[in-house]
Amino acid sequence: MKHTFKQLSTLLALLLMVCMVSSEVIAQQSLADVKKKRGLTDDDVLSAVKTFMPRGGRDEYFAFVGSGNSGTMVVYGLPSMRIYKYVGVFSPEPWQGYGFDDESTLMLKKGTNDNLLPGYGDMRFPALSETGGKYDGKYLFYTDGGNSRIALLGLDDFETKQVLMHPFFVSTFPGVAVTPNTEYVIHTSQFPTPWNEKIASVDNDYESTFKSGITMWKFHDSEDAAGTGHHIGRLIKEESFTVELPPFTLDYFDAGRAASNGLVVGLASFKNNHYVYVFDYQKAAKLKTTKLNDMALVSTQDLVDAGAFALIPIAAPARSVKTDPTGNFFITAADEAQVFDFAKTKAALDQKQFGQAVLGIPTLNTEAVQYGKLALGQKVMDIAFDYRKNVAYASAFNDKKIVRWNYKDLKIESELALSFRPGHLMTPQGNSAEPHSNYLTVTDKEGLYDKHINIGPTRPSYQHLIDISSDEMRDIYTMSIPQSNLYGSVSVLRTTIKPIIRYPLGTNTRTGEISRYRTVAGQEKIEREGNRVHVFGTLIRSHITPEIVEVEEGDVVTFHLTNLERAEDETHGFTVSTYGIHGSFEPGKTASLTFKANRAGVFPYYCTEFCSALHLEMEGILLVRPKGYKPSPEEAKEAALTPQELEQYKKNYEDKIKVINETQEVINSVVAYLKENKYEKYPYVEALVVDAFDQLEQAKTSKANYERYAAEGKWRDAFLWAEQYWQYQVKTADVGLRAKKLLSELINK
């Protein structure tokens, strides 16, 4: 029996364990119900929990992917796979007024040869700016394969800052790479064409007239002398150069890093022969140049003579070539991947150990510069790098699998079978010296097999998230991305990017300069010169000032608007009914909207972005007088008020002054608390307080105005200015109260 009691006590111990996990088990009841109801497996539950983002949660990474042919950039989060933004880059984007306001339109037009506005862009492989081979979170670059353009985006506000059209490339590879300190941004041709608007026969003149080329765009970061945190770098055409090459079709390329800094490797083909090209841009930068359409041009002969360019023959076409994180190897994405040794390649190039030339370009001996090779699968589309040393991933399209392999040992480590045909790959920071690789994204564009929801003949692309944090790889999320034809993406640790919340007041966000049209409260005005009307207006909850604008039919009208807000996420939009124009005004931004008032009538204008519960009050009226219109005598009396009306305004004014005094008391008590508790020791609280004082500063003019009008007995104007003053006061109180709340939390921590 003793034995039985021992058993019993063991069982009791077990029971205790059961009790200990019982709350877990009870919670699981409900989980089990949901699982059953929704037909989910245990694996699904784990995937759900790995990707779910609770309210207020922050993603680990920002990911950027070109939307293919819509000309916009998609920003999403890992691991939530939620899409945060579509940013207009190569095509107009009405939500943000991109290609609608004068500032962005001017920028887009500068990026064309003919001052027209291309509405389309083919964006595939973006690149993030680097410092010392690592992502610095400052800029992102894109090329437009459809229209030979290159774009610079600032990541402090996720806006496009520069668009340039290539001065003579007709067809460009829709991808870009940067050198390890972003000294240069690399941009190549894709299909060979004649340059400079020449015509030629594809059959007879091909080798003599069709060309390919590589452009090294010189990049300068901004100084940010103003200390605003708002950086605007620039691609400088005058310091850039292009190397001229025979008619190779160029494909994916990458820059060297660390020991291989100074080299670029890429894919080239000619008549079914395939190569990896090696380009020493540091040598090329020292060569003499001629000019073509104002761009410095290095001749093929000079390039070859300097030992700055050669081809490595490869047996079969590769679909990508990438530099590994260390900068020691470059590797082709091919069914049999080839790992090349950068040091050997550089030595062979420097020593001109050349074999037979192709179209005048010397070749290197493939075996001599190759480290090794490994068969990975059928139709290998792409490779991506792991933080694990010498480990990479490959996607085998036909085999429907992901292969994890070691490119130094030349061994396959493991494979993940997929339910779809995988395309391009991305690991966070994988194209830098510092890959983070908890996650791998894989594109899935093969909709033939009815795996996705039917939403009519046009379908989104899909991006899968693979959990690669452990030895076992797991496909944990299938994300649809609308308006896109997915290729490459890049991703960076979220905290590496330092987004701003507001602009210095009056910023032209495309140039980073304070706009000459910056308008502060109380200085709103309408200026006219002939048929040209400039409206200098302001936007602040919940008023558009001025509230009435009168012009004549045929006038060309520009609304120069400044958003006076300092609060977070206080964007105002602006449109004039039926005039088809739209602007987006983030806190501090000044932008201009120009249109021809070609229809007479009355046209309401209003704020188009929900900005507060009083959003609908942000409206005004544009009166477009018919040509030659004379106001009737009745209208001339417009300003006159009846004594009853004047009395009513006086009462309104006096009521408002009472409210103003009460609000001021609240502000005073908040200010006392803040000072007493040394708010200036807490940077975020201090920023709020500065913001609050800024509001009050702007309010001074309003106060002077209402006091003056009251003294003159002009009660309507006095009331309207008192109302404006109170608006500022409320905002000051609002920001102040938030600062107080935050401060008390910090103190009581």
- Burial tier of 591 (Cβ tally within 10 Å: 0-12, 13-18, 19+): buried
In sequence order, the 6+-apart residues with CB closer than 8 A to the CB of 329 are 323, 339, 340, 341, 342, 371, 407
**Whole-number Å distance between alpha carbons of 332 and 326:** 16
**Whole-number Å distance between alpha carbons of 307 and 470:** 45
- SS3 string of 379-427? CEEEEEECCCCCEEEEEECCCCEEEEEECCCCEEEEEEECCCCCCCEEC
From the list 2, 3, 4, 238, which residue makes contact with a second copy (rule: CB under 8 A)? Answer: 4
Q: Which is nearer to a second copy, 312 or 418 (CB)?
A: 418
| Residue 153 backbone dihedrals phi, psi, to 5 degrees | -115, 140
Please give the structure tokens belonging to residue 416: 């993940």
| Contact status: 360 vs a second copy (CB under 8 A) | no
| Contact status: 427 vs a second copy (CB under 8 A) | no
Residue 307 backbone zone (phi > 0: left; psi -120 to 50: alpha; other: beta): left
From the list 447, 504, 522, 546, which residue makes contact with a second copy (rule: CB under 8 A)? Answer: 447
Q: Which of residues 663-682 bind a second copy (CB under 8 A)?
A: none
Q: Which is nearer to a second copy, 92 or 180 (CB)?
A: 92
| Contact status: 464 vs a second copy (CB under 8 A) | yes
CB of 357 to a second copy, least distance (A): 23
**Whole-number Å distance between alpha carbons of 36 and 45:** 11
109: nearest Cα among 92, 86, 126: 92
Q: Which is nearer to a second copy, 303 or 381 (CB)?
A: 381
Q: Which of residues 609-628 bind a second copy (CB under 8 A)?
A: 609-610, 613, 619, 621, 623-626
Q: Which of residues 386-425 bind a second copy (CB under 8 A)?
A: 397-398, 419-420, 423
CB of 181 to a second copy, least distance (A): 24
From the list 54, 227, 683, 713, which residue makes contact with a second copy (rule: CB under 8 A)? Answer: 54
Stretch that binds a second copy, among 38-46, 360-368, 511-519, 716-724 (CB under 8 A): 38-46
Q: Which of residues 198-237 bind a second copy (CB under 8 A)?
A: 198-205, 210
From the list 133, 175, 460, 488, which residue makes contact with a second copy (rule: CB under 8 A)? Answer: 460
- Count other C-beta atoms under 10 Å from residue 315's C-beta: 12
Contact present, 501 and 139 (Cβ < 8 Å): no
Q: Which of residues 285-314 bind a second copy (CB under 8 A)?
A: none
**Whole-number Å distance between alpha carbons of 649 and 636:** 21
Q: Which of residues 543-562 bind a second copy (CB under 8 A)?
A: 548
CB of 500 to a second copy, least distance (A): 7
Q: Which of residues 491-520 bind a second copy (CB under 8 A)?
A: 494, 499-503
Beta bridge partners of 394: 383, 403
From the list 187, 231, 534, 582, which residue makes contact with a second copy (rule: CB under 8 A)? Answer: 582
**Whole-number Å distance between alpha carbons of 609 and 587:** 13
**Whole-number Å distance between alpha carbons of 558 and 533:** 6
Q: Which of residues 9-28 bind a second copy (CB under 8 A)?
A: 11-12, 14-15, 18, 21, 24-25, 27-28
| Contact status: 524 vs a second copy (CB under 8 A) | no
Q: Which is nearer to a second copy, 414 or 469 (CB)?
A: 469
Kindly write out the interface string for residues 102-121 of this chain, putting x where it contacts a second copy by CB under 8 A and - elsewhere: -----------xx-xxxxxx
Question: What's the Cα-to-Cα distance from 327 to each of 40, 176, 373, 407, 660, rounded to whole Å?
Answer: 44, 18, 18, 13, 65
From the list 271, 599, 678, 681, which residue makes contact with a second copy (rule: CB under 8 A)? Answer: 599
**Whole-number Å distance between alpha carbons of 276 and 295:** 26
CB of 701 to a second copy, least distance (A): 25
Q: Which is nearer to a second copy, 454 or 661 (CB)?
A: 454
How many chain residues are in contact with a second copy, going by CB under 8 A?
178
567: nearest Cα among 738, 746, 682: 738
| Contact status: 171 vs a second copy (CB under 8 A) | yes
